[in-house]
């Protein structure tokens, strides 16, 4: 047992070997000083990224990057790694294949093949598990002025009417209304609300908190750690920066930039044509090998 809550040279974090939202290669991590792992994933405290660790413990930040990269190479897949630092010593607690969005799964399969970690047969097997109808990259048409910003935790764009609890979000969605669920943070009881919503915004929490992980797995846009969000649940309203919003108002979320917009915006979806074309070539070669055999 190691302890991350042992002072200012201790802490805990969760690291991904690639961005679980987009599939981009590079360390993607959340970290808290003087904390245990549950403090990170619960979202109760505002976690920092790799830059926070680099500023205060640069040698350990380098060890973390190298270690996570080694784990990915050994496991031949994107990894989700839990780690603890106790009194200046880095410990890896566990690693597993990372949960990821369909878009990230597609990019990771293609890139891991190009990097020589998997062969074409394995890459094709992984792609066959992906819903290719949900790999498009969504963006808003035109421009607008954001009213607030948060930490982007799950990509895409979403527009919907505000709900302040999971019960309301679920009821609104059953009536065909697109919903943006706004919460101080996300608890286990909010899973139904996340499933019903088009997008989620939380006032606290990090990119590896439960809310973000569940949202990515369900393909929902998720913004966390919105510092300017103040919720008045009894009044069914909130303040985003200088803007007062109420339940049933329309909001639009950009899961790439972390921007929040007042009102309903038009969404455009662009398909990753280069990667889809490469997959088509894999399938053609696989079919040819079967025909020859």
Instruction: Give pLDDT, residue 40.
Output: 82
**Bridge partners, residue 240, by sequence:** 229, 243
d(CA 98, CA 53): 22
- Residue 201, both tokens: 């915004």
Residues of the chain with CATH 3.50.30.10: 137-269
**pTM attached to this predicted model:** 0.80
Report the b/e string of 41-59 with b at 16+ CB within 10 A. Answer: bbbbebbbbbebbeeebee
Give the distance between the most distant pair of CA atoms in the chain.
Answer: 69
Sign of the C-alpha dihedral computed for residues 51, 57, 59 and 62 taken in this order? negative
Domain(s) of CATH 3.30.470.20: residues in the chain: 11-97
Q: Which CATH architecture has domain 11-97?
A: 2-Layer Sandwich (3.30)
Q: Determine the Cα–Cα distance for residues 70 and 67; give it in Å rounded to an integer.
A: 5
The residues of the chain scoring below 50 in pLDDT are none
pLDDT in tens, 192-209: 999 999 999 999 888 887
* Model pLDDT, residue 1: 79
Q: What topology does CATH give the domain 137-269? A: Glucose Oxidase; domain 1 (3.50.30)
Comparing CA positions, the residue from 288, 276, 283 lying closest to residue 110 is 276
């Amino acid at each position: 047992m190691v302890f991350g809550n042992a002072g200012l040279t201790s802490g805990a974090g969760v690291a991904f070997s690639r961005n679980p939202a987009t599939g981009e290669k590079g360390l993607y991590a959340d970290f808290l000083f003087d904390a245990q792992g549950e403090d990170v994933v619960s979202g109760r405290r505002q976690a920092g990224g790799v830059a926070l660790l680099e500023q205060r413990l640069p040698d350990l930040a380098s060890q973390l990057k190298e270690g996570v990269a080694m784990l990915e190479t050994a496991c031949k897949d994107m990894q989700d790694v839990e780690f603890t630092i106790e009194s200046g010593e880095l410990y890896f607690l566990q690693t597993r294949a990372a949960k990821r969005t369909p878009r990230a799964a597609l990019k990771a399969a293609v890139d891991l093949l190009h990097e020589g970690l998997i062969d074409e047969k394995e890459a094709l097997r992984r792609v066959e598990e992906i819903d290719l109808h949900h790999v498009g990259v969504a963006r808003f048409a035109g421009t607008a002025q954001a009213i607030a910003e948060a930490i982007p935790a799950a990509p895409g764009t979403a527009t919907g009417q505000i709900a302040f609890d999971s019960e309301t979000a679920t009821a609104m969605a059953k009536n065909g209304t697109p919903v943006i669920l706004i919460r101080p943070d996300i608890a286990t009881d909010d899973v139904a609300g996340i499933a019903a919503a088009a997008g989620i915004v939380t006032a606290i929490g990090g990119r590896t908190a439960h809310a973000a992980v569940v949202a990515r797995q369900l393909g929902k846009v998720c913004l966390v750690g919105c510092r300017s969000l103040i919720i008045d649940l009894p009044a069914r309203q909130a303040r985003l920066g200088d803007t007062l919003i109420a339940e049933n108002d329309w909001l639009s979320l950009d899961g790439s930039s972390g921007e929040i917009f007042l009102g309903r915006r038009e969404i455009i979806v662009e398909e990753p044509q280069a990667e889809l074309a490469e997959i088509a070539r894999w399938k053609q070669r696989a079919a040819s090998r079967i025909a020859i055999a």
